[in-house]
Chains A and B, each alone.
Chain A
């Protein structure tokens, strides 16, 4: 059975069906991310003074990832335009670069996630807080070892990044660490989604976005690789597939353009 208007435009809409479909899907995606942006605004506006972090994330890596996604958006439209000009070889190169950009983005994001999961805040019995990156090589269970950390007396001091000169190697005896109120272990917590409202919304927004990057990358890869033979038998249909996957990819880029300043800079 042939799917109608998969290639030619419908007379009433002037569009092939997949294009209408992807735009309707993107409309639903706007509402999905819109709801999460709304949650972000509410959490931020209602945060107590001095409890919302500023510039705690790595701005250089965030900016680099923004450039990587912009480059990938350019190569996606270049790839599509190459097909329009019947230059399949150029399309393969451009879309190959897109896939590499997607992998680079995910690699940088994974590095950032790993950094946060390795960043610990330890509350001591003398009411000071030791905050920094855990020494993964420490095997002495009597100590909690940091490879670079700072000691602060007030939680609000942790809302901005430390100066390099204040960081040093610290070994905290386990006996000096405060017990949790519920009796389940010590007051040791990393910067995962459970750490604070900021990191909860950060991981939800960037995690959902990363899932979109993975999904988009898989679709682009399948069209670029295994489905490339369709170009020989039905080039118009193939070009349309590239256009539809490209529209999704640009949307993923669009979302990141807003996520970067909101989470990294403001």
Chain B
């Protein structure tokens, strides 16, 4: 009874037990990739590319790639239901709007006074 319920739960969510085993290997590979990405982030931050902007862009690209791995594989975003994607599209839209407003405000000098 217990075993059947679990198997039903697994099957109902689109994940068979065999799939779960296969996924564990994927999770381990993603974990190692994230750890390597962390090392790469530190390394890229201390390299003199000739321009500080390149360090910033490199760090953001690596962080975004790591973010994609976490969201895509650990949070299963690469194989989610349509409703979750709809929620994500709305989130990305509003987040992009927020960043757009931030960039727009940077066009004016001295809007933030700081020490």
In the complex, per-residue mask of A69-103: 1 if CB is within 8 Å of any chain B CB, else 0: 01101101110010111100000000000000000
Q: Mark B39-81, 1 if CB is under 8 A from A, else 0.
A: 1011001000000000110011011001100110011000001
Contacts of A253 in B (CB 8 A): 70, 74
> Interface code B80-111, partner A: CB below 8 Å = 1, 0 otherwise?
01111001101100110011011001100111
Q: How far is the CB of A58 from chain B (nearest CB, A)?
A: 12
Contacts of B23 in A (CB 8 A): 77, 81
- Chain-B contact segment, one of A59-67, A110-118, A132-140, A219-227: A59-67
In which size bucket is the chain B interface?
A: 35 or more
Closest to B31 in A: A74
B69 smallest CB distance to A (angstroms): 9
Interface range on chain A (Cβ under 8 Å from partner):
35 or more
User: Mostly helix, strand, loop or mixed at chain A's interface?
Assistant: helix
Least distance between B12 CB and chain A CB atoms (Å):
7
Known: A261-B41, A265-B45, A266-B45. A70 touches B17 (CB 8 A): no
**Which positions in B face A, CB cutoff 8 Å?**
2-3, 5-10, 12-13, 15, 17, 20-21, 23-24, 27-28, 30-31, 34-35, 38-39, 41-42, 45, 55-56, 59-60, 62-63, 66-67, 70-71, 74-75, 81-84, 87-88, 90-91, 94-95, 98-99, 101-102, 105-106, 109-112, 114-115
Binding site for B on A (CB under 8 A): 7-9, 13-15, 19-20, 23-24, 27, 30-31, 34-35, 38, 41-43, 45-48, 51, 59, 63, 66-67, 70-71, 73-74, 76-78, 81, 83-86, 196-197, 232, 235-236, 239, 246-247, 250-251, 253-254, 257-258, 260-262, 265-266
